[in-house]
Chain A
Amino acid sequence: MTAYILRRLWQMVPTMLGVVILVFFLFNWVGGDPAYVLAGKISNQEQIDNIRRQLGVDQPYWVQLWIFIKQIVTGDFGASWSTNERIGSIILTRLPPSLTVLVPLTILDLLVSVGLALAVAYVRGSLTDRAVMIVCTVGLSISILVYIIVFQYVFAYKLGWFPVQGWGDSFWENLVRYSSLPILIGLTVSIAPSLRLYRTFVLDEINQDYVRTARAKGLSENRIMWIHVLRNASIPIITNVMASLPGLLIGAFLIERFFSIPGIGREVILAVERSDFPVIKAITVYVAVATMVFNLLADLMYKAVDPRVQLR
């Protein structure tokens, strides 16, 4: 087990190096000279010169790459080009609002869609099953933008049930007052794909031989679904959720943007609009590390829930 974790960590090194090269290629090579990029965005020539010196733009690419790697290893990505805020503090202050929305959203999505998936898989092939699946398909076809625009307009603006947007300083106020509508929208958008996916996981299990054995033992359909099938279907569901967590951080960017929630996703959009390269670079690298770590955690979790898996 320990050996497995060590080997996996060791295997992350080349992947990380690849991410570094990819990001470097994008921003230093494709992105080009910051003086050009920032023309019109920052008028202070001295600041631009300063940025160019920090990046070593005049020096060969390998020196620039080395500067970038040093930044990653020390965790010091410098400051934002547009607001001059330290990158470390940007990430630390943007993370809590994102999590305030995402953690409840993920938990609710999991509970609701797993429950629904078991229910529709139980009546598979029936009219209900088909109707739910059609609703899911149609629901999935409408852009998330439309959900946000319409929900914000109807529930916040017209009916006044929720604030239209904003963010406060108290955790509970943020969670209850400002996050409710974003979470509701997030759920509306995420349940359809989750339900479809989890339903196939459950159906895969329902057709297994051990379900026939359970029936031959005289177990009730309820027990078969909730104990035997769910326990097996939870294996792909858990690993799926684990592996998708880091991506969610970015995935909620539209919701954060519309509701002015100062989270990571909105920060990325802002940075892209301002060509604020250091912020994007730093977030990309951190999220990549998080993804790799969560993938490893997903595999370890897999081991924990599936006795067949041997991690060597």
Chain B
Amino acid sequence: MATDTKSAAGEPLVAVRDLRVSFRLGGDAIFEAVKGVSFDIPVHSTVALVGESGSGKSVTALSILGLLPPENSIVDARSRIEFGGRNLVGLPMRAMREMRGADISMIFQEPMTSLNPVFTVGFQLAEVLHLHRGLSPRAARKRAIELLDEVGIPEPRRRIDAFPSQMSGGQQQRVMIAMAIACEPKLLIADEPTTALDVTIQKQILDLIAALQRRHRMSVLFITHDLAVVGEIADHVVVMRNGEVREQGPAKQVFEAPRDDYTKALLQCRPELDHRPMRLPVIDDFMGGSGPQHTEERKRGVAPGDAVVLDVKGLGKSFFVREGVFGRREFKAAADVSFKLRRGRTLGLVGESGSGKTTVGLTLMRLHEATAGVALFEGRDILSMSDREFMAYKKRIQIIFQNPYASLNPRFTIGQILTEPMQIHGIGANVRERTDLVFELLGKVGLPDASFYKYPHEFSGGQRQRVAIARCLTLKPEVLICDESVSALDVSVQAQVLNLLQDLQDEFNLAYLFISHDLAVVKYISDEVMVMNEGRVVELADADTIYRHPRETYTQRLLSAIPKGWHAARAAA
């Protein structure tokens, strides 16, 4: 494997050699999560461990600090993780504890749950300072305030006594980072530290980690699924898949001249901002395939002549919270939202968490009751009609949800899931016709016929999302609301589902309302883009126009926070 990192930087800080980790699954079943992984972490550098779900990247990171659950995990005794002349595998508990938080520290994906909710951030910071540095309470508090200041918490003197729940997600992650760097560690392990955060916050946290890495001359092991993020910060890249290292090397080499097919696929599956092929390359194109097929660009944008299917005017949705003795407080999740959906076109709806974008989708589907506005479907307001009348429109407007694991009833077979809508709406004359249609749709979304008799738990996330799409198609809708429909999927699967959605739009002339927080995906799939913030529409324009010339400052801020990936990042530097 790649030993060039070693020669370049002398003795590495950490050397992982032939790491093997398996999990007991109950009974005698064993799952091999990491199968002989070797890599180095040089001093003063950032190493990115990249992979999709199930690649074993987090397990690798956790095993460095011995944090795997002892009940069911087995680290092979021959594995070696060398740090400062010691092998961390099989290190006595006491020695390991002295190292944790002092020499090697770690931050996690969910800052909200990773901080203890019942202690102040000051307490949690002081705890680690007292433990490893033996600081007195007074000195620890003074140092904790300095640390909070360093990681960019405003008013640290006051905020030190705040509980984690009184802080935003970004601030919580800053506190986690402050805790991690408190004892000047030589290595900081960051396990998907920005995945749960909004894109603007992600940018700040990434900048913070990079700055701290330089200032404290430490190494960072950065675990992520997002290659665009890697391109901005990493010196070395390790690509993992199914518990094995596929490729590793300096970032420049991995990004500019990837040798491994899987790495090539990962780099190209993800939609890019400056580039919009007819179809996204998918993993099969690289793995034994002949490379990307469709290189010509797709034209986007709406023409004045496009037929309007759904005309939404002044849509509003408020929730009420009890307050005071008898009072209630209004919370406007969405207010005065207006847009038009055109036949065969996609309107992308972007915004950060709490922007109200999902509320808009659910309200249009009448899963929430609108508090204001109209939505005209061929001149008829679907928001104010009776449930009985709306029944006919349910065939024409459908929704695909975010979480493919929650959106299929686990007690139904795929056949039952797909025949149910037709049964309810009386589509198909008899069982035979309906079953035929289901098989046709299974083929259309790329699932084998045998799926008919299977249950959702036997499918992967991407396959389930295909089932969800097929379920909508049974009703032959004209409008499809995609609520974060590809956000939970791995990059390589995301590309396949996006291609499927595009094919279906081309075939059936569907109008999409594509709701997502992922600006690159929205750019790729949308003709028009609408930006929302705090329940209000900030800007609405053609996709290319809005990305190239954003008018509003919020849009500009949002777009500048998008991770640009290797090429753009180097171009700017």
A309 to chain B, nearest CB (A): 9
Contact B325–A220 (Cβ < 8 Å): no
Contact B101–A231 (Cβ < 8 Å): no
Tell me if A64 counts as interface (CB < 8 A to partner B). Answer: no
Contacts of A14 in B (CB 8 A): none
User: Which of B110-118, B340-348, B424-432, B435-443 makes up part of the contact surface?
Assistant: B110-118
Cross-interface CB contact of A308 among B105, B106, B165, B321, cutoff 8 Å: B165
Cross-interface CB contact of A217 among B100, B165, B324, cutoff 8 Å: B100
B86 to chain A, nearest CB (A): 15
- Closest A residue to B97 by CB, please name it: A218
Quick one: given A217-B179, A231-B118, A307-B163, are A212 and B132 in contact (CB under 8 Å)?
A: no
A290 to chain B, nearest CB (A): 24
Of B97, B116, B132, most buried by chain A (CB within 10 Å of CB) is B116
Contacts of B101 in A (CB 8 A): 216-219
Contacts of A6 in B (CB 8 A): 325
Quick one: given A218-B128, A218-B131, are A228 and B163 in contact (CB under 8 Å)?
A: no
- Closest A residue to B179 by CB, please name it: A217
Quick one: given A3-B325, A10-B325, are A213 and B98 in contact (CB under 8 Å)?
A: no
Contact A7–B114 (Cβ < 8 Å): no
Contact A307–B118 (Cβ < 8 Å): yes
Docked CA distance A130–B208 (Å) = 47
Tell me if A33 counts as interface (CB < 8 A to partner B). Answer: no
Q: Binary interface profile of A, 226-262, with partner B (CB < 8 Å = 1, else 0)? A: 0010011001000000000000000000000000000
Docked CA distance A220–B132 (Å) = 12
Contact B127–A312 (Cβ < 8 Å): no
Contact B128–A235 (Cβ < 8 Å): no
Docked CA distance A243–B513 (Å) = 49
Docked CA distance A15–B131 (Å) = 52
8 Å CB contacts to A: which residues of B449-491?
none
Docked CA distance A301–B352 (Å) = 36
Cross-interface CB contact of B115 among A124, A125, A213, A215, cutoff 8 Å: A213
Tell me if A108 counts as interface (CB < 8 A to partner B). Answer: no
Contacts of A215 in B (CB 8 A): 65, 67, 100
Q: Binary interface profile of A, 121-147, with partner B (CB < 8 Å = 1, else 0)? A: 000110000000000000000000000
Contact A232–B116 (Cβ < 8 Å): yes
Contacts of A3 in B (CB 8 A): 323-325
A258 to chain B, nearest CB (A): 42
Tell me if A67 counts as interface (CB < 8 A to partner B). Answer: no
Tell me if B119 counts as interface (CB < 8 A to partner A). Answer: yes
Contact A7–B163 (Cβ < 8 Å): no
Contacts of B131 in A (CB 8 A): 217-219
A residues contacting the other copy or chain, number (CB 8 A): 27
Docked CA distance A209–B196 (Å) = 14
Contact A213–B114 (Cβ < 8 Å): yes
Tell me if B547 counts as interface (CB < 8 A to partner A). Answer: no
Cross-interface CB contact of A7 among B71, B106, B326, cutoff 8 Å: B326
Contact A210–B116 (Cβ < 8 Å): yes
Tell me if B282 counts as interface (CB < 8 A to partner A). Answer: no
Tell me if A305 counts as interface (CB < 8 A to partner B). Answer: yes
Contact B116–A216 (Cβ < 8 Å): no
Docked CA distance A217–B107 (Å) = 10
8 Å CB contacts to A: which residues of B91-135?
97-102, 105-106, 108, 110, 113-119, 127-128, 131-132
Quick one: given A10-B325, A212-B108, A216-B67, are A308 and B114 in contact (CB under 8 Å)?
A: no
Quick one: given A214-B116, A215-B67, A231-B119, are A220 and B100 in contact (CB under 8 Å)?
A: no
Quick one: given A10-B325, A218-B102, are A308 and B117 in contact (CB under 8 Å)?
A: yes
Tell me if A306 counts as interface (CB < 8 A to partner B). Answer: yes
8 Å CB contacts to A: which residues of B144-178?
163, 165-166, 176
Contacts of A228 in B (CB 8 A): 116, 119
Contact B325–A7 (Cβ < 8 Å): yes
Tell me if A83 counts as interface (CB < 8 A to partner B). Answer: no
Tell me if B138 counts as interface (CB < 8 A to partner A). Answer: no
Of A125, A212, A218, most buried by chain B (CB within 10 Å of CB) is A218
Cross-interface CB contact of B117 among A212, A218, A232, A312, cutoff 8 Å: A232
- Closest A residue to B66 by CB, please name it: A215
- Closest A residue to B119 by CB, please name it: A231
Tell me if B322 counts as interface (CB < 8 A to partner A). Answer: yes
Contacts of A7 in B (CB 8 A): 322, 324-326
Quick one: given A218-B101, A219-B131, A232-B118, are A209 and B322 in contact (CB under 8 Å)?
A: no
B339 to chain A, nearest CB (A): 35
B152 to chain A, nearest CB (A): 20
Cross-interface CB contact of A235 among B113, B118, B322, B326, cutoff 8 Å: B118
Contact B114–A210 (Cβ < 8 Å): yes
User: Can you list 30 contacts pairing A with B, beta carbon distance less than 8 Å?
Assistant: A7-B324, A124-B71, A209-B108, A209-B110, A210-B113, A212-B67, A213-B114, A216-B100, A216-B101, A217-B100, A217-B101, A217-B127, A217-B131, A218-B97, A218-B99, A218-B128, A218-B131, A218-B132, A228-B119, A231-B116, A231-B118, A231-B119, A232-B117, A235-B118, A306-B118, A307-B117, A307-B166, A308-B163, A312-B321, A312-B322
Q: Interface on B for A, CB 8 Å cutoff?
A: 65, 67, 71, 97-102, 105-106, 108, 110, 113-119, 127-128, 131-132, 163, 165-166, 176, 179, 321-326
Top 5 closest pairs, chain A to chain B, by CB? A218-B100, A218-B101, A217-B101, A209-B113, A307-B163
